[in-house]
Chain A
Amino acid sequence: MDFTLEPLGDTAVIIELGTDINLDTHQKVKTVSKALDENLYDWMIEYVPGFTTVSVFYDPMKINSEKLPYENVAKQLISLLKNLNAGEDTEARVVTIPVCYGGEFGPDLEEVAEHNGLTPEEVIEIHSNGDYLVYMIGFAPGFPYIGGMSEKIAAPRRKDPRLKIPAGSVGIAGKQTGVYPIETPGGWQLIGKTPRALFLPNGESPSLLKAGDKIKFEPITIEEFQNWEENEND
């Protein structure tokens, strides 16, 4: 596997696996993440996948070496990475996210439709039939950076960002779609809302999604939204 290593300060190293967002690089990020899960170095605090990188945070005091900590970490990572092949595409998990589109949950649905010369129903049809991939989690706890939205429903960010976007809101910003796990301010066009929690602070994993997951958005009615209970759709 091709890669480069570069320090991030004096306690972390960035493994760079490519320069563009694409499936090959994403596959490498997944492979490296899996290898790090399986090789629990005692000096490793955690790793953070990005679009083209995996950053490894380490505790310099847990590295026994005559050399400086970074040299030793780099040496161990090189010997792990040089033998890795990103070939095998492991079966991706598909996570269904029910969405109640439009109405008070999606106040910008009509605007997105108008912007693209579509009806709101067509926007829902296109959004809920996309082939979506979670490239990484960042920005907020459980917030997925999702690739794969059709450009037919792309829409610019709002000129006047909202001070509060409720948790669960599904939005569009440019060519991206996303779901807000917690209430935040933001300028995304809101097209709907999911009753499903993406941030689970007391769960086994605090995030419903992880890098590498596929997403299926499933339209639901307002009644289904109100009656929706966790664990029902899994």
Chain B
Amino acid sequence: MIKITKPGLLTSVQDLGRYGYQKFGVIASGVMDQTAHRIANLLVGNDENAATLELTLLGPDMEFEKDALISICGGDLSPKIDGNSVKLWRPVFVRAGSKLKFGGCKTGCRAYLAVAGGYTVNDVMESKSTYVRAGIGGFNGRALLADDVLEIGKSSELSQQIASLLADQSEEEKFAQVTWSIASEFMTLSESKPKARVIKGRQYDWFTKESQIKFFSEPFEITSKSDRMGYRLKGSKLELENEQEMLSEAVTFGTVQVPSEGNPIILLADRQTTGGYPKIGQIASVDHSLMAQLKPGDKVSFVEITHEEAQKLYLHREDQIQQLKQGIALKIKQQSK
């Protein structure tokens, strides 16, 4: 069991999302940074879709009432256990009674806290993701508050191996972490000048030549009116060649749509299922994690790639994650000997 003592800015239970119900207007929800979430789960021996906690900018404080195996991936929100820094991107064994606190946000925007066994909240429409507006999923359909107590599920055999390995090392210590971490190519942390790869959107040709050029050459700033639903951007105004009425149709994570006032909006995890604004672009899946780790005030540029390239990058990334999964299991097996 984990007891939340301070909730942080926005801490919610999420998995990879709620699918199959978008035709009924039920949004997909789920984590913003899928890569960090999946890796956090893999590092503690969980299934990739197990629920994690998504922490935003200011993380929560919590107490572990039992021993636990955790990992923290994604943005660096300065995690500390009883005053000692905890490293990201690796399994960490935490003794019962330890207190985990997060400080300021050093890099990125969102961190994922996985625990071996996962958080056991009820499935709603086959997902554990929190959908705050409808008040369903996750922990009582809402973000976490102080005094909430999260139950932990049964851990896998791999989880138990990792935990016992680290428990042996920790002895008297409050916690123990492995000395290795995953390859840095998975760590989608904010670069100084982030560039997102984008495929042209379905209504790209509706925009003026000038707007098309600006979209792919000038940086756009993430404004404070940005959340899990979408980022509102500020930059050059993007204009249509002719006013055209669009009919609502499906949108997805990373869709860049432009309302008539000309400032683009990037749709994210809590996007509505359908949208009626012209789509100038679509961020390739491989860069969704990059977007998830941007925060208000950050600037992003868009680089055009083809649909074919986006697909190849997608497949390549999945191959890498599969290799990582095998690599973690192998590492544990070697160390357990």
**A residues adjacent to B (C-beta < 8 A):** 6-12, 14, 21, 33, 45-53, 55, 57, 60-61, 68-70, 136-143, 145, 181-182, 184, 199, 201-202, 205-207, 210-211
Alpha-carbon gap, A132 to B149, bound state (A): 47
Alpha-carbon gap, A11 to B130, bound state (A): 23
Contact (Cβ within 8 A) A9 B250 = no
Contact (Cβ within 8 A) A46 B22 = yes
B20: chain A residues within 8 A (beta carbon): 45-46
Alpha-carbon gap, A184 to B229, bound state (A): 15
B22: chain A residues within 8 A (beta carbon): 46, 48, 57
Chain B residues numbered 18-55 whose CB sits less than 8 Å from any CB in chain A: 19-27
Which of B133, B252, B308 gathers the greatest number of chain A CB atoms within 10 Å? B252
Alpha-carbon gap, A207 to B27, bound state (A): 12
- At the interface, yes or no: B274 with Cβ under 8 Å from chain A? yes
Contact (Cβ within 8 A) A137 B23 = yes
Question: Smallest Cβ distance from A176 to chain B, in angstroms?
Answer: 12
Alpha-carbon gap, A213 to B278, bound state (A): 28
Contact (Cβ within 8 A) A201 B252 = no
Contact (Cβ within 8 A) A70 B311 = yes
B313: chain A residues within 8 A (beta carbon): 10
Question: Smallest Cβ distance from A224 to chain B, in angstroms?
Answer: 27
Alpha-carbon gap, A68 to B282, bound state (A): 18
Interface of B is mostly: mixed
A142: chain B residues within 8 A (beta carbon): 24-25
Q: What residue of chain A has the Cβ atom nearest to residue B273's Cβ?
A: A138
| CB-defined A-B contacts under 8 Å, sample of 24 | A8-B282, A9-B199, A9-B282, A9-B283, A10-B307, A11-B285, A12-B252, A21-B247, A45-B20, A46-B21, A46-B22, A48-B250, A51-B247, A53-B247, A70-B307, A136-B274, A137-B23, A137-B273, A138-B248, A139-B25, A140-B25, A141-B26, A142-B25, A201-B136
Q: Assuming the A-B contacts A9-B252, A9-B285, are A139 and B272 also in contact, with contact meaning beta carbons closer than 8 angstroms in the complex?
A: yes
Chain B residues numbered 70-111 whose CB sits less than 8 Å from any CB in chain A: none
Q: Assuming the A-B contacts A53-B250, A138-B272, are A143 and B25 also in contact, with contact meaning beta carbons closer than 8 angstroms in the complex?
A: yes
Question: Smallest Cβ distance from A204 to chain B, in angstroms?
Answer: 11
Contact (Cβ within 8 A) A199 B134 = yes
Q: What residue of chain B has the Cβ atom nearest to residue A56's Cβ?
A: B250
Q: Assuming the A-B contacts A6-B202, A136-B274, A143-B25, are A57 and B252 also in contact, with contact meaning beta carbons closer than 8 angstroms in the complex?
A: yes
